[in-house]
A and B are shown apart, each in its own frame.
Chain A
Amino acid sequence: METWALIWKICFIVVVTVFAGMSVWITIGGWQDVRALLRKLKDDDEAEQE
């Protein structure tokens, strides 16, 4: 039981830590991707109209 408890403790700490770092990365990078997506869709609109 102690071994399983240790495994889950390590899993939990590692995953939550990675998730915290990833959340910051996605928050910043995701916003850049949103802007790029909207820019591309706008360019497509303009190209279609031309």
Chain B
Amino acid sequence: MDESLRQALGQTNFTPWDWGIVAAYLVASLIVGILVKDRVHGMASYIGAGRAVGTRLGIAAMAGTEMGLITIMYSAQKGFVGGFAAFHIAVASGVVALVVGLTGFMVYRLRELRVLTIPEFYERRFGRRTRILGGFMLAFGGILNMGLFLKVGSMFIVGITGMSETGGALKLVMVGLLTLVLVYTVLGGMISVMITDYIQFVILSFGLLLTTGLAINQIGWSHIFDTVASEMGSKGFNPFEAEGEFGVEYVVWMAFLGIVNCGIWPTSVARALAMESPEAVKKQFAWSSVSFTIRFMIPYFWGICAFVFIMTAAPDLKAVFFPDGAEGADNLYAMPVFLGRILPAGVIGLITAAMIAAFMSTHDSYLLCWSSVITQDIVAPLRPGGLSARSRVLLTRILIVVIGLYVLWWGLFYEGNDDIWDYMAVTGAIYFTGAFAVMFGGLYWKRASSTGAVLALLSGSTALLGLGPVQALLGMSGRFTGAQVGLATVVFSLVVMIAGSLLFPDKSAPTETPPPDNTPA
């Protein structure tokens, strides 16, 4: 971080009162986690909250999980560089969630089957080897995917509070936040995650709306649109503009990611599987379409506001982010710097608490999700005689801590120069491109076979070709965009699923009715 950026980050309105607000929120989260730990009596309650979550709590938990601080940061960056054209991603995400909610596409049938994890469905439909392979790929891609969450989230907090990056503040924030999340997640499992997600939703939704109102009040509604029009032209509004940030393939890729977010990405599917009934799942997704839209749209808007503010009202920041004839500062910092300048003391503490809420609600869900997948879908099926309920809960708790330590280590010591957004998209795609073919085939095609499923899961690895360093290694740099590689991998996995199933059909018919829950309670 260069000196000019450090000075820009240091200009904040954060006061001791704001620290008090943040501290009160953190203590409340911790107390809730400790209070509900006595309610945990088995895996169904530990990772599925006893399948007793009502619709409104389910919506709050879904929003809390999917509105992570890392999403807010990178979405703001997208708005900063892409303008209002980035809004198409939010709209695509919301429309797809609404369609999933109205039709129950994938999630309804999954909930009917009463599975606790996606690989558990693989086993019921395709057998044990598919479950273990699917669990491994899911955990591998997922844990890699969250590797930089802690660091990026902590960077926001250090930046907005005005703490100096030197002197170990970043490391202290990372360790402190991780410890807090680990304590309440390990103790209370999905029950405490659900309840803290609810608290986090309340704080976060209020914070998002308040900040948006203050930003509009500060800059001016018409001025925002006028500046984007004058600085970016039509590419700041039209997502299909060839010379803009996006284009047709990107829009289609984002629509597919909308399906992934609803029906395949395990953390949101875990919310669906914890609901009290399949009908409640449909309501959950239909209403969550609003929060799925908002979680992108508001951060884009903040990024756009930051762009307008920097271009028209903050010449010192313009010199930092858009210096003449030189490379500007990392525009990831634009939104926090902007918020640090416009939010008054008191409000900034509330917003920081809201952002910490976004940070924690994502971390707790991801930690619980990946650890439970390893326990349920890799270790338990591989162990002769299975695992008792007590052993499963204990192992899941240990794995939560282990994954948490990995995230801390990765954040502290990883020095890679990858574009983080590309890194996240590719690591996620390793899992979800193959998983889409397997789940779609498994749920809706009777002839889908276990060999086809295994081959489709493995073919998802070709998504790695979307990563810049891999393209460079193979001498194909710049030839294909991440969106093109992602879409090609989806089509490839579907073709492999169909061809593998037709060429190597299963000898026995697939299970059509949900068997009794085989998870020890």
Contacts and interface: CB of A to CB of B under 8 A. Distances in A.
Interface of A: 1, 4-5, 8-9, 11-12, 15-16, 18-20, 22-23, 25-27, 29-34, 36-38, 40-42, 44-45, 48
A11 B55 CA distance: 25
Contact of B54 (A9, A11, A32): A32
B206 to A, nearest CB: 7
B50 interface: yes
Nearest to A42: B39
Contacts of B149: none
Interface of B: 36, 39, 41, 45, 49-50, 52-60, 63, 84-85, 87, 90-91, 94, 191, 194-195, 198, 201-202, 205-206, 208-209, 212, 225, 229, 233-234, 237-238, 287, 290-291, 293-294, 297-298, 301
Contact of B87 (A1, A8, A36, A44): A8
Chain B contact residues: helix, strand, loop or mixed = helix
Given A38-B36, A41-B45, A15 B56 contact: no
Given A1-B238, A26-B63, 4 more contacts: A23-B209, A29-B54, A41-B50, A44-B41
A48 B41 contact: yes
A44 B50 contact: yes
A15 B294 contact: yes
A19 B198 contact: no
Contacts of A5: 84, 225, 229, 237
Contact of A33 (B57, B225, B287): B57
A39 B462 CA distance: 48
B291 A22 contact: yes
A15 B209 CA distance: 11
Contacts of A32: 54, 56
A15 B45 contact: no
A32 B52 CA distance: 13
Contacts of A8: 84, 87, 237
A17 B387 CA distance: 49
A45 to B, nearest CB: 7
B2 to A, nearest CB: 34
Contacts of B202: 23, 26-27, 30
Which among B52, B90, B191 has the greatest number of chain A C-beta atoms within 10 A? B52
B54 A37 contact: yes
B94 A33 contact: no
B240 to A, nearest CB: 9
11 contacts: A11-B87, A19-B209, A26-B56, A26-B60, A26-B63, A30-B57, A33-B55, A33-B57, A37-B52, A38-B36, A44-B41
A15 to B, nearest CB: 5
A30 B198 contact: yes
Contacts of B56: 25-26, 29-30, 32-33
B60 A30 contact: yes
Contacts of B194: 34, 37
Nearest to A22: B290
Contacts of B85: 4
State the 7 A-B residue pairs at the shortest beta-carbon distance, nearest first.
A33-B54, A33-B57, A29-B56, A4-B237, A23-B205, A1-B234, A41-B39
B206 A12 contact: no
Contact of B290 (A12, A15, A31, A38): A15
Nearest to B50: A41
Contacts of A29: 54-57
B445 to A, nearest CB: 35
Contacts of B50: 37, 40-41, 44
Q: Which of B58, B60, B90, B212 counts the most chain A CB atoms within 10 A?
A: B60
B320 to A, nearest CB: 28
A1 B194 CA distance: 43
Nearest to B94: A15
Given A8-B237, A33-B55, A45 B41 contact: yes
A9 B60 contact: no
A2 to B, nearest CB: 9
